[in-house]
Structure 1
Amino acid sequence: MTAATEEITALPATALPATALVRAIRTGELSPVEVTEAALERIGQLDGSLHAFCELTADLAMSQAREVADALALGAELGPLAGIPIAVKDLIATAGIPTRCGSPAYRDFVPDEDDVVVERVRAAGAVILGKTTVPEFGYSGVGHSPISETARNPWNPAMTPGGSSAGSGVAVATGMAPLALGSDGGGSIRIPSAHCGIYGFKASMGRVPAYPGCRDERFPGISSWESLEHIGPMTRTVDDAALLMSVLAGPDPRDRHSLPAGDVDWVGATRGGIRGMRVAFSADWGYLAVDPRVREVAARAAGVFATELGCAVTEVDPGWDDPYQAFWSLVVNDTDLAGMRAMVATHGARMSPHLVELVTRGWTAEELTDGQTARKRLVNRMWRFMADYDLLLSPTLTVPPFPVHMQGPERVEGRMVASTAWLGFTLPINMTGQPAASVPAGFTRDGLPVGLQIVGRHLADASVLRASSAYEQAAPWADHWPPMVAGTGG
């Protein structure tokens, strides 16, 4: 028996990294059908209490797995994700599969076309398990909506897994799926990755094209966040994220923001050390209220870059202003207010109150243009700051997971804060469009995950992946499973 076979028999298939599954499927040690059956069994064991999925596509998944198995038997050329189960966030369009976006207004919506990223993972041979739970239209950092069960954190089901890619985070953290697609307009890949103890990567704006999501004017609510949104991988390992990025990245004429391909070797980007890199660390960016438990864990993780990875780490106060209010004016400026207000007129009593308030408020032209000016100011301050550093580290979030019924904590460090101010580390990086990742940094003393955010310079995606991989090797996390999962073979 080979070492690889011993590893496979010791764990359920979906607990293995996607890169290991790719090898096992190609060598015949596992079949795509076995892997998909293992994923569906895992979902059946756990999802009744965690609600990662709002739409399970078991028949489709088995059909796709059989197609891969048949191609393998014929010796056909396989795509890079052939036979690998993947979960898709329910804000990402899937042809023929309901995409309800957590909203009563889209309860019966079935897209007639795939999002670009879904086209690409299908073409690469991935097996689509279903759609994952989101808050309404993604206008929240948690996991509850008016039309689906509330997603729950597998480390403590009384707590939120974060959002808006809530179900994707839960699916990967529990081994229901080795890969998941998330989207990130204000941190929505990084937030649940931090709260669920997994890896989440937001590439530079334009690396991964989006359409029809954010781009199709026919669909109010879905056609929002155009200048802020990113789509990307949520995984258990950095290599898995790089593998998925190799499929997702590259230009598409349907997305005017998409960048040319060719300047990043995604799979190779995780190789090599980061010794000598200049790294800035800030526990609060000079203005955020941060839970002391988060400060402690994040500071310890940042210390690894100096003590074990050979970086020159400097604790800093970046010196910019809090862009929190400006961020929300940018969201509104990207929103079809006329369409959303018409939707509220019909469905408002059943929609999320915070969303209704946001889109019905009387925004002034000055508030909206002030948001654009604030973004320019932040971008300029950021590139000047990053001229002295290769990476910027911070906590991913200001707090650890909190109870599921909340939009956010009302107090942090004894200070009253806005309900979404706990996202203060993630929002600005959507305004600048820089690459960023959340890596598992450790746990609070009561066993809740904390993430460390790694931010790179504009277009320095490879640096973020390489730094993430170096940190992963120094402080491995992929074998840490929630206690409730350990009892199911994880």
Structure 2
Amino acid sequence: MSDLHDLPAHALTAAYRQRTLSPVEVTQAVLNHIAAWEPHIQATYLLRPERALEQARASEARWARGEPLGLLDGVPATIKENIATEGDPLPAGTAAVDLVPAAADAPPAARMREAGAVVVSKTTMPDYGMLSSGLSSFHPLARNPWDTSKGPGGSSAGGGAAAAAGYGPLHIGTDIGGSLRLPASWCGIFSLKPSLGRIPIDPPYTGRAAGPMTRTVADAALMMQVLSRPDARDSMGLPAQDIAWDRFDQGTERLRGLRIGLLLDAGCGLPVDPEVRAAVENAAHLMEAAGATIVPMRPFMTQAMLDGMDHFWRMRSFTDMQALAPAKREKVLPYIRAWADSAEGMSGQAVFNASQQFHLTRVAAVKACNAFDYVISPVAPNVAFQAELPSPTNDPLRPLEHIGFTVPFNMSEQPAASVNCGYTQAGLPIGLQIAGARFDDLGVLQVSRAFELVRGTQRPWPQPPKA
């Protein structure tokens, strides 16, 4: 039998139902495992063991009465720190903000509690979520369990590290340009950035989505049953839809007859590392062998699109930071300050032109994908980089050169997943992105599960260093 911290969510709830496991013993096992890992990867924020055990005891009592709250009752979970949990401050990864307790749970946190999940901890992120790194002026530096000299990616940095390290089966992150899929790729886990509005979030923002971070597609599908329930606080939320998440698995037959686009050049940013390219090409061959038709795609993104989004976000951050008192502004990570301050001289016309690149990206993505059932590509052109670096380029004037494959699907509102498709010679994971048409979240899960079945045996999950 697997160690308790490694068990998937559906196995845990089945064991609770049969009284062969207790939420208390599982939660304690997860807490013990976190204690062994946490000094090395620093993925948590507000880790409170007694509160977690209190939730587990309440779950144990419900299972004893045969009255579980919902699909996730007693299952350990973590939540990214920028998703509000009642009574807890939201530092947004930066030492520059005042720590004010949240008045209420944000929608994803509320849905998890309603389903009975045991929220073991929150997880870390970089300043304002604007880095694909675990570097933060507030949190300790997060690291990658596969190689602690590397970062886990970001901005859902702690969530990616926690999932790979085995901090329980369920984790929630957020994504506005790749912040779920990048850490999923670099930590070897699964994540789904859903269609915009599929999972209600507060506050909503163009391109921003919350999503599951798990070791398996099945656990992500289970979370989707809970997280996708409507919430009026999300002004961009989708209408309620009865999606058979619990019947998502069609096996490898799901690939048969599909027309799948293969995108190996983002059209902008960093060149694709040869090991990444080889792993994605191998994934395409496996899908083809299972009955899919693979069609090479030309890039549809341009450097102008990527730069425009970058410049608009710089101005947004510059405006936010100008509202801070000078002493507070000095606490922001220097890389983020340099990036934001570079927008100071932008004219109104330049800001407007930059803003238009979001729409141009959306139109280009939808048009390019329209000829295919699904599109596969690298998640990122590179693999995990040095933990101390804020970005792969370490250049605040070239900060987004690694998101050319991920960001278009935020703007087009299409669902896109990251599923592990191989490893470098050095043992670092490589993520395959699987994108579908808008609203086809279930299809992306099904195709991801089919690939999970054909990709072959995965390497064992990393273990905490010996004391």
What's the TM-score once normalised by structure 2's chain length? 0.93
Q: Counterpart in 2 of 1:122?
A: 113
Note if 1:244 corresponds to 2:223: yes
C-alpha displacement of 1:376: 2.2
Aligned to 1:437: 417
SS of the residue aligned with 1:145? coil
SS of the residue corresponding to residue 93 of structure 1 reads coil
- The Cα of 1:428 is off from its aligned counterpart by 1.6
Whether 1:348 and 2:339 are equivalent positions in the alignment is: no
Question: Could you tell me whether the CA contact under 8 Å between 1:250 and 1:260 is conserved in 2?
Answer: no
Matches within 5 A, 1:70-219: 70-106=61-97, 108-211=99-202, 214-215=203-204
Q: Is residue 2:26 matched to residue 1:35? A: yes
- Cα deviation 1:2-54 (Å, max 9, x = unaligned): xxxxx3xxx22110111111211121111000110011000011111110112
Would you say the 8 A contact 2:393–2:401 is kept in 1? no
Aligned counterpart, 1:277: 258
1:107 is displaced (CA, Å) by 5.6
Number of corresponding residues = 461
Structure 1 counterpart of 2:59, one-letter code: V
Distance (Å, rounded) in 1 between the aligned partners of 2:207 and 2:231: 18
1:318 and 2:299 are equivalent in the alignment: yes
Counterpart check, 1:14 vs 2:9: no
Structure 2: 5+ residue stretches without partners: none
SS in 2 for 1:371: helix
Output the CA distance in 1 between the equivalents of 2:334 and 2:77.
32
Q: Identity of paired residues, percent?
A: 35
Superposition RMSD on alpha carbons, in Å?
2.2
Amino acid at match of 1:314: V
Residue type of the alignment partner of 2:248: A
Distance in 1 between the 2:325 and 2:372 partners? 46
Instruction: Find 2:382's aligned residue among 382, 399, 419.
Output: 399
Contact 1:250 1:258 in 2 (8 A): no
| Pick aligned residue for 2:347 from 364, 371, 383 | 364
1:456 maps to 436
**8 Å Cα contact 2:339/2:397 also seen in 1:** no
Matched, 1:418 2:409: no
| Distance apart, 1:303 and its partner CA | 1.7
User: Could you say what secondary structure the match of 1:469 adopts?
Assistant: helix
Instruction: Give 1:372 shift.
Output: 3.5
CA change 1:344–1:354 in 2 (3 A) is: farther
- 1:219 alignment counterpart: none
**SS at 1:480 equivalent:** coil
Task: Measure how far apart 1:442 and its partner are.
Answer: 0.7
Q: Distance in 2 between matches of 1:82 and 1:485?
A: 27
| Cα distance, 1:108 vs structure 2 | 2.8
Gaps of 5+ in 1: 1-6, 216-225
Contact 1:282 1:393 (8 Å CA) reproduced: yes
Aligned letter for 2:438? Answer: H
Q: Out of 361, 364, 367, which is 1:378 matched to?
A: 361
C-alpha distance in structure 2 between counterparts of 1:284 and 1:251, whole Å:
36
User: Contact (CA 8 Å) 1:102, 1:148: kept in 2 or not?
Assistant: yes
User: Which whole-Å CA distance do the structure 2 matches of 1:243 and 1:486 have between them?
Assistant: 31
Using a 3 Å threshold, how does the CA distance of structure 1 residues 464 and 330 change in structure 2: closer, same or farther? farther
After superposition, the Cα gap between the structure-2 partners of 1:316 and 1:430, relative to the gap in structure 1 and judged at 3 Å, is same
Task: Return the alpha-carbon distance in structure 2 between the equivalents of residues 411 and 107 of structure 1.
Answer: 28
Tell me the distance in 2 between the aligned counterparts of 1:100 and 1:371: 28
1:206-248 per-position Cα deviation (integer Å, ceiling 9, x unaligned)? 101112xx35xxxxxxxxxx11210010000001000001100
CA distance in structure 1 between the aligned counterparts of 2:42 and 2:78, rounded to whole angstroms:
13
Q: Does 1:51 align with 2:34?
A: no
Tell me, yes or no, if the aligned pair for 2:135 and 2:389 is still in contact at 8 Å.
Answer: no
Alpha-carbon distance between aligned partners in 1 of 2:351 and 2:125, rounded to the nearest angstrom? 27
Q: 1:103 touches 1:351 (CA, 8 Å); kept in 2?
A: yes
Distance 1:373 1:137 in 2: 23
Cα distance, 1:318 vs structure 2: 3.3
1:287 to 1:341, Cα distance in 2 relative to 1, 3 A: closer
User: What is the CA–CA distance in structure 2 between the aligned matches of 1:320 and 1:148, rounded to whole Å?
Assistant: 34
Q: Is the 8 A contact 1:440 1:477 kept in 2?
A: no
Query: How far apart in 1 are the matches of 2:394 and 2:128?
Result: 26
Deviations 1:124-183 (A, max 9, x none): 000011111110110110001012211111111001110111111111101112110100
User: In structure 1, what is the Cα distance between the partners aligned to 2:85 and 2:376?
Assistant: 35
Q: TM-score, normalised by structure 1?
A: 0.89
Moved more, 192-201 or 320-329: 320-329
Aligned equivalents of 1:437, 1:205: Cα separation in 2: 13
